[in-house]
A and B are shown apart, each in its own frame.
Chain A
Amino acid sequence: MVEIEIDGQLVNAEPGEMLIAVTDREGITVPRFCYHKKLSISASCRMCLVDVEGAPKPQPACSTPIADGMKIHTQNERAKASQKAVMEFLLINHPLDCPICDQGGECELQDVAVEYGSDVSRFSEGKRLVAPSDIGPLIQTDMTRCIHCTRCVRFGSEIAGIMEMGGTGRGEDLKIEPFLAEGITSELSGNMIDVCPVGALTSKPFRYELRSWQMNAIESIARHDLVGSNLYAQTYKGKVKRVVSGDNDSVNETWISDRDRFSYEGLAHEDRLLYPQIKVEGQWKEVEWEVALDYAVKGLKNNILNSRNAQKLGGLASATATTEELYLMQKMLRELGCENLDYRLNVKNLDQTIHLASNIKLAKLEQVDYALVVGANLRLEQPMINHRLRKAQLAGATMNALNVKEFDFNYPVSNTVVSPNQIASTLAGVLKRVLEAKSEKIPEYLSTLTPSAEATDMANTLLGAEQAVIILGEHVLNNTQASSIANLITEIAKHSNSKTLNVSATANALGAQRVKFTPSSTGMNVNDMLNAEMSAFLLLDVTPEYDFHHVNSALSALSKEDVFVVSLNSFGNELVSQYADVILPMAAMYETSGTHINIDHKMQSFSAAVSAPGEAKPAWKILKVLADLLELPGFHYENSAQVLSEVAHQSEVEHEYDSSININENTSAIETIWMHSPYQSDELLRHASSLQASKIGQMNTASMTQATADTLSLKSGDRYLGVPIDVTDAMADQCVFVSSNQATNTGGLS
């Protein structure tokens, strides 16, 4: 700690810290454009020049390290004069189109120009004009406005990991432009909009809609993945018009993924359900809430309750629901005496489930020195978790991926590509080597195993690491050895003293686990329900063709003549209309208050940013009223916070689970791993048009090797399960990896 003097004020600072960080902390204003606290220092804009006593010339605050006894003036004549001179140069080529610029009103250049700019320009020559380039459906460019701060370029190379924007030319001809004709494809690209200090990069879906001063910013939480990024929903006249990132160093730092940023577009989709509907004699009728709820209650009573047959009622919910909604639904069903409830709709075999604790904090992920990623395309599936790992890698960590395909990580990863049924044996090899190194007893099931060379390498790096993490992803969810894989990872972590991170479930799955939205021993899980003789279902935000693994059996179970189905949905859906008897319109993301539990088990509550359109209501209210009408006790809630306090009082129970490990390879069949494209993971995203138009949203390929294609007698140009095939060497035989923006039932997967 040293003492320095800024504008006559004594300030404590760390030696070596940059001056601008100190002034920011002390609340002293220093104008800047190129400096950004999360990016490297380029000192290119020169706006932050300050007078340092003893220095022959003014020094840029962003790149001047603190030394003991420094005397700095940020406001004296010399500093002001240099800042004004820099401003005049910056304004030479900047167009005066603030009135039509979307950045107008929130523009750093505009703000600084008010204080440091001159009224009249002395520049009478022609201004520079840069042709705009189309860089995709998310970001609008107006590069004439660019002041070459290079924040977007540094963001690309340092944070997004793909240097998609760059400077070409020199001096007057310097242009910031995308290197590739296909434009910007990064899953974090929207952050360039936030970092751009001027209107050169703005949000395309938001273009020309509103001025920044017209909107209210309401804090909220993104619910599309396990991170729960903090963000602001900017609203105008009861509609979400734009989403910008919020700061939270323990969650998302200051970045958000594109799907968090642009999903709001789905809220205004024409498919939104606005009124409660009931099916009378096969015809859908829009009715009042009272009528619809009465109809639902009557249906449930007739089919279930009057005959005291609660075991024939099933409750299914999507993991995107809020913790409160899930809690109320399970409380209601349990009050009715029904234990059949589940949120794990996309799991093929619920006897083979993944039990793996996440025991490393998000912020700690960037401090690991070894990470093993098993079964995940982390960059697209969990962008913010991947970003943390990328930071670790940049700091020197070793990365291994054990996948069926070589995925595109935005940092160097040594890929081990094995077919789905070899994942368990590879991990078993790692475990064996770890146990050998620690001279511990080798269990029976490992005795005959010979670890592969890759497994040995992994084990060696793992043991050499001080802080290692093993990450288990979604691709393993429907692996025939899913539970063994999870148990192997637990064992490896235990013996190698490493951490584990379970990203195999997403959205608010941890919230669902917290409120025990799974059947107890007397109840049925989702797959059992679909095969049993049920009389009624209560569905929360379920979209059959995307959510169910067993789509066809789900549809036939739900469509049965004598099954009464009450479905809470935000968006209209043909299949839901086919089987449901009552459709209750529920509020979507940003329209309801609630809580999301992220991978750190951090409960993040949010309030509604806007009210739901039409007659749609927050699902927690619908469930509460439904419970009241069913005359169940204990549903006197006035707001969702009361529900949450009840959740918080419940003890967290550790589930008993099968910890046995079975590594026998089953090589008979070709395994299909079906993943929805990252922008198809929930209903709101599926209705967000700009995301769907982006390159990631358009992903639709079934990848396989030539050998697999031959076995399936497919050739280039054919479709597999309705998805165009892509023959590649960079993956394992005996499996097909589908990444699709189509619904699962189009290909007849069952």
Chain B
Amino acid sequence: MINGIKKLAKNLTLSELRSGMKITAKEFVNTKITVQYPEEKTPISPRFRGLHALRRYPNGEERCIACKLCEAVCPANAITIESEMRDDGTRRTTQYDIDLFKCIFCGFCEEACPVDAIVETQIFEYAFESRDGSIMTKERLLKVGDDNEQVIGKIKAQDAKYR
């Protein structure tokens, strides 16, 4: 009986509608948090783990020395490396593949790398149009590195003091 009266009073005073409208009114004047992706983007942490890249030294020499520590540490077995002695006597990769279907973006490869060659960039917008597109070959990884070296350098410097 009492509950019925309470419910009737609530309905007649439109209290639920008013509390809802209160939030609407508050958010109407507050700063917007919605971003208009893809025109607008949210900021990304320097530690964000996106698409992989292989870096080079400023003189153009590839950093990777085929130590295969990333291959060994990779929990998803996503990395395949073959190595050889290059004509100048240095140790280099002949093949460096990352299968992005297998990769779980844990970032262990980057942690394991003694020469900061393999890194995970902030790039997260990529798609494959064929099955083998998921295999990032050495050439593709180096290309990502070359195209983004400026950004990679900057974010790695930002994070360096915490490591």
Contact = CB atoms under 8 A, between A and B. Distances in A.
B69 A99 contact: yes
A210 B83 contact: yes
B156 interface: no
A211 interface: yes
A208 B65 CA distance: 10
Contact of A208 (B69, B83, B115): B83
Contacts of A211: 67-68, 72
Given A208-B91, A211-B72, A99 B114 contact: yes
B67 A99 contact: yes
B114 A208 contact: no
B84 interface: yes
A207 B84 CA distance: 8
A657 interface: no
Contacts of A104: 67
Nearest to B72: A213
B21 interface: no
Contacts of B68: 211, 214
B67 A208 contact: no
A98 B65 CA distance: 11
Interface in B42-77: 65-69, 72
A99 B115 contact: yes
Contacts of A207: 85
A209 interface: yes
A100 B114 CA distance: 10
A214 B68 CA distance: 10
Contacts of B83: 208-210
Chain A interface residue bracket vs B: 10 to 19
Contacts of B91: 100, 208
B84 A209 contact: yes
A1 B79 CA distance: 56
B148 to A, nearest CB: 24
Most chain A CB within a 10 A radius of its CB, from B67, B72, B84, B90:
B67
Nearest to B113: A99
A208 B72 contact: no
Contacts of A99: 65, 67, 69, 114-115
Contacts of A214: 68
Contacts of B90: 100
A321 B69 CA distance: 41
Nearest to B86: A208
A98 B68 CA distance: 11
Contacts of A213: 72
A208 B84 CA distance: 5
A100 B69 CA distance: 10
A104 B68 CA distance: 11
A99 B66 CA distance: 8
Nearest to A132: B89
A100 B72 contact: no
B85 A100 contact: no
Interface of A: 98-100, 104, 207-211, 213-214
Closest 10 CB pairs of A and B: A99-B67, A208-B91, A208-B85, A100-B91, A99-B114, A211-B68, A100-B65, A207-B85, A208-B83, A99-B65
25 contacts: A98-B67, A98-B114, A99-B65, A99-B67, A99-B69, A99-B114, A99-B115, A100-B65, A100-B66, A100-B67, A104-B67, A207-B85, A208-B66, A208-B83, A208-B84, A208-B85, A208-B91, A209-B83, A209-B84, A210-B83, A211-B67, A211-B68, A211-B72, A213-B72, A214-B68
